[in-house]
Structure 1
Amino acid sequence: MSAVQITEGTVKVEMCGGHPLFYRQVLPPSGEPKLCVLLLHGIRFTSENWLRIGTLTSLAEAGFRAVALDLPGLGQSKAAEPPAPVGQPAPGEFLRQVCEGLETGPVVVISPSLSGMYSLPFLFQHTQQVKAYVPVAPICTDKFKAEQYSGIQVPTLIVYGDQDTQLGEVSLRNLSNLPNHKVVVMKGAGHPCYLDDPETWHTSILEFLKTLV
């Protein structure tokens, strides 16, 4: 049995119509967390996916605080109003308020698919609050210019499945303009590549996180 404990809670964000956002959190079994990792999700998923495939536990056992958020309008945050139409970049202030409410400090953001509409504006507008960025075939990468990407020095791990020939390749092309990036291509994996091969996913992100502490 794992020694880590999963807790649940809500965080209030002004721009969500007054409705709080649901999150799941895991802390390391001992000692102070090395960093906080914020896990977002795609349109067909919720924070529960990170619980089910063991990502929250893996991060906590490696010494990190892991917080998985249900995004506005989805999962147990269904009542919260999204601060932008789906598919359009949301204000970077949204994730800034989330991080402030959760007291994350500089945060590592794991951002698959739909959540790119939240994570990319946060990366560009509040760069100093992003310790590292792990985009997993996110949307909205085409909404920003190459020069915008090239000015961001945040350590980035670009992850995608080699069977994701649409968003995976488009997002890679745009995100490769980030100067401080590495790429992990997950063999035989589709768009939600972390579901297809959780073991490779966990190994990849933990190796990357070790380089930050």
Structure 2
Amino acid sequence: MSAVRMTEGSVQVESCKAPLFYRQSEPAAGEVRMSVLLLHGIRFSSENWLNIGTLETLARAGCRAVAIDLPGLGRSKSAEAPAAVGELAPAGFLREVCEQLSLSPAVVISPSLSGMYSLPFLMQHQALIRAYVPVAPICTDKFTAEQYQSVKVPSLIVYGDQDAQLGELSLSNLRNLANHSVVVMKGAGHPCYLDDRDTWHKALTDFLKTLFICTKEWSDMDRCPEKKELNHPHTPTFTLTHSDGCSVETHSLSLPLTFHPLSKTHLGSDVLGLLLPVPLPACFSASMFVTSNSTNNCTECVVKFKL
């Protein structure tokens, strides 16, 4: 079983007047596949994610997971909340948290109270969010169906079937998200992740696996060694910058794919990220035509995917 590194720290967010406490988990060795930001409800804190094993589970799945204590709660009691409970917080709050912790783009896990923070962030800063996991959050009624439909971020909606207060209510609004799936946890209440942590962790890790589809590393113009990670797209175009400064662009594809530009430092080399529709067949191929702007040479690369 892979080792996990756990740390604690604090981050200064300008609007809070005092630091926010956080707990962090990550693989002790090996590549970090993605970043996850965990929020919490009004009666809880980052300690709950530690105690039920979610921080450890995410690190073992190859994630860097950061659980913050929201302003005025947990070990962030001295921090000033940017909005009253039940009111929408400025989207810039979580943007600054992610910037200060170098989390973007992050998978955002948002139960209950934290909806007042995560939903404005989702609506205004999709480019900073890799995926969204709302767990019966508040404030879902403060946005229109059209606003939800404009969100293209992959989302996993989770709630307990015994949550009479926010379960079905939040679902009725969140189901308007353009790219979502739903997990209903049987016999679980409002903090459903506490009632059935095994089901919660399985649902979460299964969802994360859909984000780990495929990344290609280009060693040169003719060879495309396979990698194993998906990078969530935030733009419909793709440009790959090589170490020699030339630019490579795709010209045509045999399958509809979406591209995400990645810095060459992400895996220590030039990387192409692909987002493919799921579910997928076990094995298929796509042809890519790439051109080097420095040489104007066009090369066809047939990439075979095996899931």
Would you say same fold, with TM above 0.5?
yes
- Deviation, 1:105, is 2.1
RMSD value, Cα: 1.0
Q: How do residues 83-122 of structure 1 correspond to structure 2 at under 5 angstroms?
A: 83-122=82-121
- The alignment of Structure 1 onto Structure 2 pairs a total of residues equal to 212
Spell out, residue by residue over 1:18-43, the C-alpha distance to the aligned partner (whole angstroms, 9 max, x if none).
x0100000111221210001000000
- Deviation, 1:166, is 1.8
The residue aligned with 2:15 is 15
Q: How do residues 55-94 of structure 1 correspond to structure 2 at under 5 angstroms?
A: 55-94=54-93
The residue aligned with 1:185 is 184
CA distance in 2, matches of 1:55, 1:187: 19
Is contact 1:11–1:101 with CA below 8 Å preserved after alignment? yes
**SS of equivalent to 1:206:** helix
**SS of equivalent to 2:152:** coil
The residue aligned with 1:160 is 159
CA distance in 2, matches of 1:13, 1:41: 18
Identity %: 71
**SS of equivalent to 1:41:** coil
- Deviation, 1:146, is 0.7
TM-score (norm: length of structure 2): 0.68
Which fold has the larger relative contact order, with Cα–Cα distance below 8 Å and residues 6 or more apart in sequence?
1
TM-score (norm: length of structure 1): 0.98
CA distance in 2, matches of 1:177, 1:3: 39
CA distance in 1, matches of 2:131, 2:193: 18
Q: Unaligned stretches of 5+ in structure 2? A: 213-307
- Deviation, 1:3, is 2.2
Q: Which moved more, 1:149-158 or 1:26-35?
A: 26-35
Spell out, residue by residue over 1:124-153, the C-alpha distance to the aligned partner (whole angstroms, 9 max, x if none).
011110100000000000011111001010
**SS of equivalent to 2:148:** helix
- Deviation, 1:121, is 0.3
Choose 1 or 2 for highest CA Rg: 2
- Deviation, 1:4, is 1.1
- Deviation, 1:2, is 7.0
Q: Unaligned stretches of 5+ in structure 1? A: none
The residue aligned with 2:29 is 30
The residue aligned with 1:3 is 3
**SS of equivalent to 1:157:** strand
Which residue type is aligned with residue 141 of structure 1?
T
Which residue type is aligned with residue 47 of structure 1?
S
- Deviation, 1:75, is 0.5
CA distance in 2, matches of 1:173, 1:29: 40
The residue aligned with 1:172 is 171
The residue aligned with 2:52 is 53
Structure 1's consecutive aligned runs of 4 or more residues displaced over 3 angstroms after TM superposition are none
Is contact 2:119–2:140 with CA below 8 Å preserved after alignment? yes
